[in-house]
Structure 1
Amino acid sequence: MLNIPKTTEKSFADGKILKSVADGVGIIIFNNPEKRNAMSLDMWEGLGSALIELRDDPDVRVVIMVGAGDKAFVSGADISQFEETRHNAEASEEYSKRSAAQRALLADYPKPTIACIRGFCLGGGMQVAMLADIRIAAENSQFGIPAAKLGIAYGYDGLRHLVSLVGPSWARLLMYTGMRIDSAEAGRIGLVDRVVPEAELWSATTDIARTISGNAPLAIQAAKITIAQVLKDPDKRNMAAIKAIGTACMDSEDFREGRQAFMEKRKPQFKGR
């Protein structure tokens, strides 16, 4: 089991989404282990509520998402709900609308996000992981999108993120076959950023999170905003937003603190302003 601290814990979706904060790091746990953390609509909505609270918490500088138990990050959508919620095109459209706000929230999240992945990361789990800024995976993880095996049309946003990570050829292979790949392959094709032994997964993830948390929040925000604009078509890029955050950085107290700490050979104390 991962040694996840549970200070200031709060639950959503009848306890299937847990939120905690430790040392400037927000933690969201997908807590449905009996179903390998399969995502229900309530869990999507609970995820959104947890993300909003961590977004609005000034003490939180980075957010980790992780699955409970030792079997899965998120094994996909809760298929037991499909007969009720996704039995035809109209119902599927309504399902997508209800989860769209949470996906959009994660896609445009202002703070860095990390997916800490162990075990199965399939379908909707891939969607969550791909929306994170950084993906750290245990060696025993498995990845795949079995939409073709279920007769599901995977959405534009999910495939856009997949193609941006692995390229169109690997996206076709994964989508056409519904195949699963292991962590080594996922790392090789760029689907995950780092693969570590299972016993080291949580410490490796929190080390990265603490490093991010100790850096200047405005500088990280500038990087996040600029990278997001780079990924857009040229005619849709918001260059004014890039200029605005750049100006905010260079005029910030943190920039002065960074310079002064360097000269004084001490660790800077950034305030995010």
Structure 2
Amino acid sequence: MLDAPKATEKSFADGKILKCISDGVGVVTFNNPEKRNAMSLDMWEGLGHALIELRDDAEVRVVILVGAGDKAFVSGADISQFEKTRHNAEASEEYSKRSAAPRALLADYPKPTIACIRGFCLGGGMQVAMLADIRIAAENSQFGIPAAKLGIAYGYDGLKHLVSLVGPSWARLLMYTGMRIDAAEALRTGLVERVVPDAELWNATTEIARAISHNAPLAIKAAKLTIAQVLKDPEERDMVAIKAIGTACMDSEDFREGRRAFMEKRKPNFVGR
């Protein structure tokens, strides 16, 4: 996805999850285009491994999530696995436990994440996209959660994120009907932050990623942490953590560098400390 000479690549889940790094930007690709990037359990676990490696790489400052091909971001869970992995409540509980760690990792990821959405973004794909910090969609995108058409309970975490983005009324409409909405409707309801022409999607996404990667990592970490705390109930907010990250920013070398660069009318060189 990124410039090959500068990129390092690695695959997981038999090549169905790809990881690439270039110039401070990590990219995770859902690489199952034959099934419109439907997520298998192995892919969930592979996603977790890729995210951990990107989290622990000090050079990576932002992560893009994208689907292979031009048909889908992620079209949902791989329903062909359901007879084996989710055929009843007990099996579904085991499936949820195995996919819970990657979902929790993405939900609380310490670095900014961007979902680059083209084509179908359905079901489990919606869950992945909603766990990202920012969603950029192509005009050809389609969104929906067909759980009611499959007899599936979507789950608390997924619905919590849906309600936080579109509100309870739209969440009810989407969940009760299983309807699909287009990119324009997704933008209007707040499900995505920006819609661009199909041909401009990757460049628009990487432009945002580059802008993030050039900013001060501690300041972005502070913003991400504080916004997450704002969304919690007042009694659950960690005000100590908010104060600590604020102090760390003000005492950082990056703050000094930002001031110097401003006075010298040049671009700052932030190092993340």
Secondary structure of 1:104's match?
Answer: helix
Structure 1: give runs of 5+ residues left out of the alignment.
Answer: none
Secondary structure of 1:266's match?
Answer: coil
Equivalent pairs counted in the alignment come to 271
- Who is 2:32 aligned against? 32
Structure 2: give runs of 5+ residues left out of the alignment.
Answer: none
- Once the two structures are superposed, residues 7-50 of structure 1 have per-residue CA deviations (whole angstroms, 9 ceiling, x without a partner) of 21100000000000011100000000000000000000000000
> How far apart, in 2, do the equivalents of 1:116 and 1:58 lie?
23
- Identity between Structure 1 and Structure 2 (%): 87
Shift of 1:187: 0.2
How is 1:32-181 mapped onto 2 (pairs within 5 angstroms)?
32-181=32-181
- Return the letter of the residue paired with 1:262: F
TM-score (norm 2): 0.98
Check whether the contact 2:115–2:135 (CA below 8 A) recurs between aligned residues.
Answer: yes
Check whether the contact 2:2–2:22 (CA below 8 A) recurs between aligned residues.
Answer: no
> How far apart, in 1, do the equivalents of 2:8 and 2:212 lie?
21
Shift of 1:5: 3.9
- Who is 2:259 aligned against? 259
- Once the two structures are superposed, residues 212-249 of structure 1 have per-residue CA deviations (whole angstroms, 9 ceiling, x without a partner) of 00000000000000000000011111111100100000
- Who is 1:190 aligned against? 190
Please list every run of at least 4 consecutive aligned residues from structure 1 whose deviation after the TM superposition is greater than 3 angstroms. Answer: 3-6
Secondary structure of 1:9's match?
Answer: strand
TM-score (norm 1): 0.98
> How far apart, in 1, do the equivalents of 2:120 and 2:235 lie?
38
CA RMSD of aligned residues (A): 0.6
- Return the letter of the residue paired with 2:162: L
How is 1:184-223 mapped onto 2 (pairs within 5 angstroms)?
184-223=184-223
Shift of 1:4: 4.3
> How far apart, in 1, do the equivalents of 2:54 and 2:137 lie?
23
- Once the two structures are superposed, residues 165-223 of structure 1 have per-residue CA deviations (whole angstroms, 9 ceiling, x without a partner) of 00000000000000000000000000000000000000000000000000000000000
